[in-house]
Structure 1
Amino acid sequence: MTWASSESALRLWKSGSLSSNPASPAPEAIAALLPEIAALEARAGAGKFEEALRREVGRRMERLADGVLAYRRHHVHRTLENPPAAWSEGNTRLLDYGATHRAARVRGARAVLVVPSLINRWEVLDLTAEKSLLRAMAAHGLRPYLVDWGTPNAEERRFDTTAYVARLERAVAFLAKRARRAPAVMGYCMGGTLTVALAARQPRRVAGLALLAAPWDFHADRTGQAFLVASGPLLAQVADKVGELPVDILQTLFWSLDPWLAVKKFGRFLGMDQQGDSAREFVLLEDWLNDGAPLAGPTARECLVGWYGENTPGAGKWVVNGRRIVPSKINVPSLVMIPSGDRIVPPLSAAALADPVKGLRNTTRIDLPLGHIGMVVSSRARDLCWTPLLEWLSNIPAKQRR
């Protein structure tokens, strides 16, 4: 839309144009270019600049289309075999990543409940054999159990966040009984927000709490989130009527955070060796991004209006099954990992959980020079994020293990 409107905008702002409108002056940055454009046209001939502009718009659109088509036609698909399910409830499964890994099956291996977001699926944590945080956990001697939320069924379409936290409570109770001691809990993105509520409600069943890019104070930094905040109430009404917030709408919200990302990434993809590792990883990651799950209607309203609109978690007003979730009252050993380049969860939002006054009481904070997704799959993720995370999970104080 921005490219296609360039010709119309030029006619609107050029003095002397039949379409010019004095009541709609050009922005300052554009107004400064108009004399230069006029000088170019004087040398090249009337209409030549507009012809060049039209060609450039076409070139950019064609390159974007070529990049998208190259992705759609690529032969690569995720081929990793998923581990067996140890527990299930509704469409939610608990995948046991230690079942087939010798290091994770040793007696006393610490169980870790891994909770991803409700929106994007869990596969980003197990993208390839080389880029799998879950398999790295198992190789390190931990026993990760991953929450696969699945797609909401008829009953789950009526779930609010209380219902999802209650499901996590039953999952952690199952693990505590199976492992004969409290497991550690790791939450990624929105999954981290839910696990804070889990730790508040079940502190004896959570040995330690690791939070990766978990949003909490939704008003700490709204940079780039104007569309999401403004459209929240309307989208909540859609979720009320449909019973869920469809994937396409959720994708639009993510795209709105960086509208030019598609242009940059598909152009970059077009320049890659299509048979190389970089192209393979791009396709797998893009498949994951495009394969989200719809969000249950009540949960969508709670997030859009309650979290983003009213900042109920950050303001200490988020209530789960009658209990206010207040981080400063949670004394479970906690690790808060904050990627500084995060555009999905602003760093200030995640940093609220490590605040010395209002945040979690027993906290280690690690700031990472990575992005929201890069912290788990980039070339630097293993050294900067995985290694300190695995070490921290392995060294949770023994007094919390009972």
Structure 2
Amino acid sequence: MDTSPTPAFSALAQQYAAPQHGPRPLPLFLNILWRETQDDPELRKRAFQGLRKYQEARRSAPPTTPAIAASAGSAKLLRYGTENGRHPVVFVPSLINPPQVLDLSESRSMLRHMSAAGHDAYLVDWGAPAADDSALGLDRHVTERLLPMLAALPRQPILVGYCLGGNLVIGAAALQPARALATIAAPWNFDGFPAADRAQIGALWRSSKSMCQRLGYVPMEVLQSGFWAMDPARTIRKYAAFADMAVGSDEEHAFLAVEDWANGGPPLSYAAGHDLFEQFYAANASGRGEWRIGGQAVDPRRLTCPTLSIRSATDRIVPAAAAPEMAEGTTLSLGHVGMIVGGGARTLLWEPLSQWLSSHGG
């Protein structure tokens, strides 16, 4: 018997179905919203209005996707620049959330800015883990994904890692020399995180570990719930503020793009999640010099190439105290995402970083 819905039923369901944009996981978001606004009915009303507006808003078309220069497993190396005789600059995002934060829109794109500034810029897209990738840990993301793609480049690259991508480029440079290396908000010394945050993340992992092990991956919703738990009040306030943004404004488009990015993305392989939560957050293996790739300890202080550590004094996700110590360092006053796509990103990060890259042949 054919139990598929009739066309009329499908049309009716589509008409009345709730929009499918995030936040993800929505039940947890609603729980946080209700809890954080229990003494402020006006904030609750505006937050619900912002949520509905977010779910129903029209999205702008995403930027065009550049050509694929190399691939390894599920990962791809996207080329934004062109051959110019200088060293290629490879931007490596976190494994958490999609890489589009570095190419959010035509006007908010670090990669397009770097290309326009004359850099032969590339972006790593990690893709989604395959069904047999459950044992692909952070170390193998370096050796089996990142390094093979770097080997396809015509010259020794300059590596720029954002968030957890910073850890991965440090690992790559420890095994294969780079022309230069910069990290942006990289979580290296986990003793620099507030104890309460590490305890909360540890509890989240303990409650999720067995389920993730059975699945073979760590769902994005597990990671998102950890981020929300760090500052639940801000999570709700930003949706209330969104309710008041002018429709069609640049501010509204930026909010939609950032939130769609934050609520999207594939899961982590189980082994990568295990490494992140147990080796890094719990044991601080990277900060203690105990993280090993292929039997070799990874220590940014041993890198012989020029290095730069960019951190932020107002980053709630990766505190400045958690950033790796490099030959050079600079501290901003922008949020974890704001330093990449915020109104001050171009002046405070993109342009100074471009100058630093140029000074080292990029």
Task: Tell me the residue number matched to 2:351.
Answer: 387
CA-based RMSD: 2.0
CA contact (8 A) 1:224 1:258 kept: no
Q: Which amino acid aligns with 2:76?
A: R
Q: How far did residue 240 of structure 1 move?
A: 1.6
Picking from 142, 158, 161, the partner of 1:187 is: 161
Task: Tell me the residue number matched to 2:146.
Answer: 168
Question: Would the alpha carbon gap of residues 387 and 223 (structure 1) be closer, same or farther in structure 2, given more than 3 Å must change?
Answer: farther
Q: Which amino acid aligns with 1:168?
A: L
Task: Tell me the residue number matched to 2:128.
Answer: 151
Instruction: Look up the SS of the partner of 1:174 in the other structure.
Output: coil
CA contact (8 A) 1:125 1:134 kept: yes
Task: Tell me the residue number matched to 2:10.
Answer: none
Task: Tell me the residue number matched to 1:135.
Answer: 112
Hey, what's the Cα distance between the residues in 1 that align with 2:231 and 2:34? 19
Asked whether 1:218 is paired with 2:195, we answer: no
Task: Tell me the residue number matched to 1:310.
Answer: 283
Cα deviation code 1:177-236 (max 9, x no counterpart): xx2x21101100000011111111112xx1000100011011123255131133333333
Q: Which amino acid aligns with 1:267?
A: A
Question: Would the alpha carbon gap of residues 224 and 386 (structure 1) be closer, same or farther in structure 2, given more than 3 Å must change?
Answer: farther
Hey, what's the Cα distance between the residues in 2 that align with 1:389 and 1:238? 41
Task: Tell me the residue number matched to 1:319.
Answer: 292
Question: Would the alpha carbon gap of residues 317 and 3 (structure 1) be closer, same or farther in structure 2, given more than 3 Å must change?
Answer: closer
Q: How far did residue 2 of structure 1 move?
A: 7.5
Q: Which amino acid aligns with 2:175?
A: R
Instruction: Look up the SS of the partner of 1:266 in the other structure.
Output: helix
Task: Tell me the residue number matched to 1:90.
Answer: 73
Q: Which amino acid aligns with 2:132?
A: E
Q: List structure 1 segments (4+ residues) > 4 angstroms apart after TM superposition.
A: 1-6
Task: Tell me the residue number matched to 1:29.
Answer: none
CA contact (8 A) 1:165 1:198 kept: yes
Question: Would the alpha carbon gap of residues 223 and 272 (structure 1) be closer, same or farther in structure 2, given more than 3 Å must change?
Answer: farther
Q: 1:2-401 counterparts in 2 under 5 A?
A: 57-98=40-81, 104-106=82-84, 108-166=85-143, 167-175=145-153, 179=154, 181-203=155-177, 206-222=178-194, 225=197, 226-350=199-323, 353-354=324-325, 360=326, 363-396=327-360
Larger radius of gyration: 1
Instruction: Look up the SS of the partner of 2:170 in the other structure.
Output: helix
Hey, what's the Cα distance between the residues in 2 that align with 1:5 and 1:214? 32
Q: How far did residue 330 of structure 1 move?
A: 1.3
Q: How far did residue 156 of structure 1 move?
A: 2.5
Hey, what's the Cα distance between the residues in 2 that align with 1:330 and 1:312? 18
Q: How far did residue 292 of structure 1 move?
A: 2.2
Question: Would the alpha carbon gap of residues 221 and 390 (structure 1) be closer, same or farther in structure 2, given more than 3 Å must change?
Answer: same
Identity of counterpart residues, as a percentage? 35
Task: Tell me the residue number matched to 1:44.
Answer: none
Task: Tell me the residue number matched to 1:49.
Answer: none
Q: How far did residue 127 of structure 1 move?
A: 1.0
Instruction: Look up the SS of the partner of 1:157 in the other structure.
Output: coil
User: TM-score, normalised on structure 2?
Assistant: 0.86
Question: Would the alpha carbon gap of residues 236 and 78 (structure 1) be closer, same or farther in structure 2, given more than 3 Å must change?
Answer: farther
Instruction: Look up the SS of the partner of 2:58 in the other structure.
Output: coil
Hey, what's the Cα distance between the residues in 2 that align with 1:182 and 1:3? 49
Hey, what's the Cα distance between the residues in 2 that align with 1:379 and 1:224? 31
Q: How far did residue 88 of structure 1 move?
A: 1.3
Cα deviation code 1:71-107 (max 9, x no counterpart): 1100023421110111112221111112xxxxx443x
Instruction: Look up the SS of the partner of 1:288 in the other structure.
Output: helix
Q: Which amino acid aligns with 1:110?
A: H
Runs of 5+ consecutive residues of structure 2 not aligned to the other structure:
1-30
Hey, what's the Cα distance between the residues in 2 that align with 1:296 and 1:80? 28
CA contact (8 A) 1:110 1:394 kept: no
Q: Which amino acid aligns with 1:379?
A: G
Q: How far did residue 59 of structure 1 move?
A: 3.9
Question: Would the alpha carbon gap of residues 119 and 78 (structure 1) be closer, same or farther in structure 2, given more than 3 Å must change?
Answer: farther
Hey, what's the Cα distance between the residues in 2 that align with 1:221 and 1:276? 36
Structure showing greater relative contact order (alpha-carbon pairs closer than 8 Å, 6 or more residues apart): 2
User: TM-score, normalised on structure 1?
Assistant: 0.78
Q: Which amino acid aligns with 1:388?
A: P
Instruction: Look up the SS of the partner of 1:314 in the other structure.
Output: coil
Hey, what's the Cα distance between the residues in 2 that align with 1:139 and 1:60? 42
CA contact (8 A) 1:224 1:257 kept: no
Runs of 5+ consecutive residues of structure 1 not aligned to the other structure:
7-52, 99-103, 355-359
